């Protein structure tokens, strides 16, 4: 698909839809090709959510909500 720089600015959500269909996008500026957008091919590790950050409270006994409330205790957020 060939689009202009103006399309890139104003129709970015449509371009993301095109990329999700594994199509390549050529961006032109003044009728000359300037850039190429290609779909991102992520690794399998990103797809199965095996990041270390997930489940950080798994081994803790305390409740996350209670912990956050204790951190915020004493704050006056009424303005």
Condensed to tens digits (0 to 9), the pLDDT of residues 2-17 reads 999 998 899 999 999 9
Q: Where are the domains of the chain?
A: 2-72
pLDDT score at 48: 55
Cβ(11)–Cβ(2) below 8 Å: no
pLDDT score at 32: 95
User: Could you read off the pLDDT of 28-70 as tens digits, one per residue?
Assistant: 999 999 999 999 886 554 555 555 666 777 777 777 788 888 8
pTM, two decimal places? 0.50
- Residue 44's H or E segment, with its range, is helix 44-47
pLDDT score at 62: 76
């Amino acid at each position: 698909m060939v689009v202009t720089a103006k399309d890139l600015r104003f129709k970015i959500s449509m371009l993301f839809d095109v990329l999700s269909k594994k199509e390549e996008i050529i961006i032109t500026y003044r009728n000359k090709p300037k850039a190429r957008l290609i779909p991102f091919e992520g690794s399998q590790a990103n797809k199965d959510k095996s990041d270390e950050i997930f489940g950080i409270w798994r081994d803790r006994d305390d409740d996350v909500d209670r912990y956050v409330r204790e951190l915020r205790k004493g704050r006056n957020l009424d303005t």
